[in-house]
């Protein structure tokens, strides 16, 4: 990774720079056009980062020239198999211009550090089975759990 990248908590003044990354992340997962997230969801997601009563946190990767080039969102929750909370890394995205330069790894490692500081002993996430590029990184920084995710829209 280039030393010009800084990982830091998102700031309220970052919205305009965060939004294209968020849109890129959602496009990657097919949430664009008619299937795009409603603006209300984006607004609520953004507001949660700054609400002390919400468990949703955000970090961004900032280049040396001040451009945001990556994001990660994560949250802490209880587990029935642990006394301490666990950390779910929900979203991770880097701009195409910096892919392969260590931004994703730096964001993951920053979440690890935040989770340690919060008293967690586990960080986990999921990705789509077709996201083979990201999985090459994930295989280097974590272990596959072997669990399959099921979901049902209600």
Range of the structural domain that residue 100 is part of: 6-141
Q: Is the pLDDT of residue 30 over 80?
A: yes
When pLDDT is averaged across residues 88-109 and rounded to a whole number, the result is: 95
pTM confidence score: 0.93
When pLDDT is averaged across residues 122-131 and rounded to a whole number, the result is: 94
In a domain, 146, yes or no: no
The closest of 37, 105, 38 to 72, measured between CA atoms, is 105
Residue 32: alpha-carbon gap to chain centroid: 18
Q: Is the pLDDT of residue 102 over 50?
A: yes
Contacts of 116 (CB under 8 A, 6+ apart): none
Q: Give the chain's domain count.
A: 1
Q: Is the pLDDT of residue 2 over 90?
A: no
In a domain, 101, yes or no: yes
In a domain, 40, yes or no: yes
The whole-chain average pLDDT of the chain stands at 94
Model pLDDT for residues 54-98, shown as the tens digit of each residue: 989 999 999 999 999 999 999 999 999 999 999 999 999 999 999
In a domain, 151, yes or no: no
Beta strands in the chain (DSSP E): 6-9, 56-62, 68-77, 86-94, 123-124
Which range among 32-36, 64-68, 84-88, 133-137 shows the weakest confidence by mean pLDDT? 32-36
In a domain, 58, yes or no: yes
In a domain, 45, yes or no: yes
Q: What are residue 62's DSSP bridge partners?
A: 6, 68
In a domain, 150, yes or no: no
In a domain, 137, yes or no: yes
CATH code for position 43: 3.40.630.30
């Amino acid at each position: 990774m280039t030393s010009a990248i800084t990982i830091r908590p998102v700031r309220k003044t970052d919205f305009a720079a965060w939004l294209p990354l968020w849109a890129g992340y959602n496009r990657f997962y097919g949430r664009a056009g008619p299937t795009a997230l409603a603006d209300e969801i984006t607004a609520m997601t953004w507001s949660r980062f700054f609400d002390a009563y919400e468990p949703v946190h955000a970090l961004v990767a900032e280049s040396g020239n001040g451009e945001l080039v990556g994001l990660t969102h994560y949250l802490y929750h209880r587990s029935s198999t642990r006394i301490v909370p666990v950390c779910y890394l929900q979203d991770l995205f880097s701009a195409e211009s910096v892919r392969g330069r260590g931004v994703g790894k730096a964001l993951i490692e920053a979440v690890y550090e935040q989770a340690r500081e919060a008293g967690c002993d586990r960080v986990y996430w999921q990705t789509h089975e077709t996201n083979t590029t990201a999985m090459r990184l994930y295989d280097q920084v974590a272990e596959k759990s072997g669990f399959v995710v099921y979901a049902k829209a209600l």
